Amino acid sequence: MQSADKSNCKYVFVCGLPRSGTSILGRNIARMENCTGLQNTGVLEDEGGFLQDVYPTEYVCGGPGRFGFDPRAHLTEHSALLTPANVAKLRASWHAYWDNRKTIFIEKTPANLLMSRFLQAAFPNSYFVVIKRHPIAVAMAAQKWKVNVTSLYNMFEHWLHCHELFEEDKKYLKCVYELNYEDYVENSQKFHEQIAAFIGTCVPEPMKTDTFRYVEQWHNPRGLRVPEHTMEKVSGAYSQRYFDRWSHLLKKSVFKGYYRYIAKKYEPRFLEYGYSFTQGLDPSSKMCLEEAKVPEWVGTFFCLAADTAAFIVRMRARLVGGVMKQLRALLPEPVKARIRYVRERLISTRDRAAVPSP
């Protein structure tokens, strides 16, 4: 904790909406020379937001696709939460999981996107690395979390709202580096070198051997196995799957009128950020959008119906989750231990099967 008091300490906050690539980017930055990230925290993705009680987390504010609409999520240097006592609590919460022999401290929480001015005031000599990803990929990836599922049009509105807030906040920040997930996938080494120069360090030489650790994930009971020192590779494969699904929704879905309506409605606003709803689509999908003509009142009805459907899915997931939690609490400890053992064996078997033969 002594390093926290040194004037040469730097704090690097990785920002971006959930499912924008913040996790892998944050871990890779933490592998750079003299850098340290939060490790072995026991919380999802080692996110600092879950380790503190100074400000509400994005889940308290509504979860992915909704937290940005909650005024509590947008904090600036004028926040009443910015007190010496709270700053001390934040530092203590995070330095307990950093390697305090280092002097560049990395903290990755998606909601940092709306807290940059607050964090800059709390941590002098702070740097912000902000990553954006195509709204289709962000929206569809986040919808996998059924307990917080939100309609696509609201996901798009949320993407715009959060990035618009950041564009205003950026004017008050001293050190900001921005990149797109799509560019990062194409040439991660280039961005690692640029980010290293931005925060005043360097990219380490690749290691021949490495050790591994596990990062907690909501959908993976075992956690994600990641290397300690070697840079993780990024892939655009998942994004293409989301684009393919989007193309299918535009052409063949029973609700294609809804998807075409929101595509045309939001296209002009997303173009300002360099993204298009025709990106990665085949010619026939583009033609569907060009020919789409949905009356405004019909489109509004579609959006209300989508919100209702999302609400039903969300409530059902939470109800089932609550019941399962109560049932697990009633099970004897030996039974729970046996279930964990069987589940880990199944995961281990699946992982071995996924490794190609030499």
Q: Tokens in use for 249?
A: 């929704």
Phi then psi for residue 256, to 5 deg, are -60, -30
Whole-Å CA distances, 354 to 125, 347, 348, 349, 351: 44, 11, 10, 9, 5
Calpha distance 113→61 (Å, rounded): 14
What residue ranges define each of the domains in the chain, with the CATH number in brackets?
8-227 (3.40.50.300), 237-350 (no CATH)
Calpha distance 309→316 (Å, rounded): 11
Q: Tokens in use for 205?
A: 């030489």
pLDDT reported for residue 65:
87
Q: Tokens in use for 313?
A: 């899915």
Calpha distance 175→127 (Å, rounded): 5
Asked whether the beta carbons of 13 and 169 are under 8 A apart, the reply is: no
Q: Tokens in use for 281?
A: 């689509």
Residues paired with residue 107 on neighbouring β-strands, in sequence order: 13
- Ramachandran bin of 26, using left for φ above 0, alpha for ψ from -120 to 50, beta for the remaining angles: alpha
What is the CB-side half-sphere exposure of residue 206 using CA atoms within 13 A? 5
pLDDT reported for residue 287:
66
Sign of the alpha-carbon torsion through 219, 221, 222, 227: positive
Asked whether the beta carbons of 142 and 155 are under 8 A apart, the reply is: yes
Calpha distance 33→11 (Å, rounded): 14
Asked whether the beta carbons of 257 and 302 are under 8 A apart, the reply is: yes
| % of the chain at pLDDT higher than 90 | 49
Whole-Å CA distances, 357 to 80, 118, 284, 352, 354: 58, 51, 40, 10, 9
Measured at the CA of 67, the angle between CA 64 and CA 69, to 5 degrees, comes to 130
Q: Which of 295, 258, 21, 24 is nearest to 156 (CA)?
A: 258
Q: Which of 229, 234, 1 is nearest to 96 (CA)?
A: 1
Regions of the chain short of the pLDDT cut 70: 1-7, 145-148, 219-221, 280-282, 284-292, 309-310, 313-315, 317-331, 335-358
pLDDT reported for residue 357:
34
Give me the helices (H) in the chain, please.
Answer: 22-30, 84-95, 116-122, 135-142, 152-169, 181-186, 188-199, 237-252, 256-271, 283-291, 296-330, 333-354
- Listed in sequence order, the residues at least 6 apart from 286 whose beta carbon sits closer than 8 Å to its beta carbon are 278
Number of Cβ within 10 Å of residue 105's Cβ equals 26
Q: Which residue has the tokens 């997931």?
A: 317
Number of Cβ within 10 Å of residue 43's Cβ equals 14
Calpha distance 326→295 (Å, rounded): 47
Asked whether the beta carbons of 192 and 203 are under 8 A apart, the reply is: yes
Whole-Å CA distances, 341 to 329, 345, 350: 17, 6, 14
pLDDT reported for residue 346:
58
3-class secondary-structure state, position 212: strand
pLDDT reported for residue 7:
63
